[in-house]
A and B are shown apart, each in its own frame.
Chain A
Amino acid sequence: MRAMHDLGGQPAGPVERDEHDPSHAERRVDALMALLRARGLFNVDEMRRTIESLPPEIYERHDYYERWLYTIERLLIEKGVLTAREIEDRLAADG
Chain B
Amino acid sequence: MAKPAFKPGTAVRVRDLPVKGHMRTPGYIRGRRGRIEVLQGFFPNPEQLAYGAKGLPPVPLYLVRFPQSEIWPGYGSTGDSLALDIFEHWLEPAET
Contacts and interface: CB of A to CB of B under 8 A. Distances in A.
15 contacts: A2-B27, A6-B26, A8-B26, A9-B72, A43-B49, A45-B50, A46-B49, A46-B51, A46-B52, A48-B22, A48-B50, A49-B21, A49-B22, A49-B50, A52-B22
B46 interface: yes
A49 B23 CA distance: 8
Tell me which of A8, A43, A45, A49 has the highest count of chain B C-beta atoms within 10 A of its own C-beta.
A45
B37 to A, nearest CB: 20
Interface residues of A, number: 11
Give the secondary structure class of B's interface: loop
Contacts of A83: none
A31 B60 CA distance: 33
Interface of A: 2, 6, 8-9, 43, 45-46, 48-49, 52-53
A45 B22 contact: yes
Given A8-B28, A45-B49, A48-B22, 10 more contacts: A2-B27, A6-B27, A8-B26, A9-B28, A9-B72, A45-B55, A48-B50, A49-B50, A49-B51, A53-B21
Interface of B: 21-22, 26-28, 46-47, 49-52, 55, 71-72
B39 to A, nearest CB: 21
Tell me which of A43, A46, A49 has the highest count of chain B C-beta atoms within 10 A of its own C-beta.
A49
Nearest to A51: B22
Contacts of A48: 22, 46, 50
B50 A46 contact: yes
Contacts of A6: 26-27
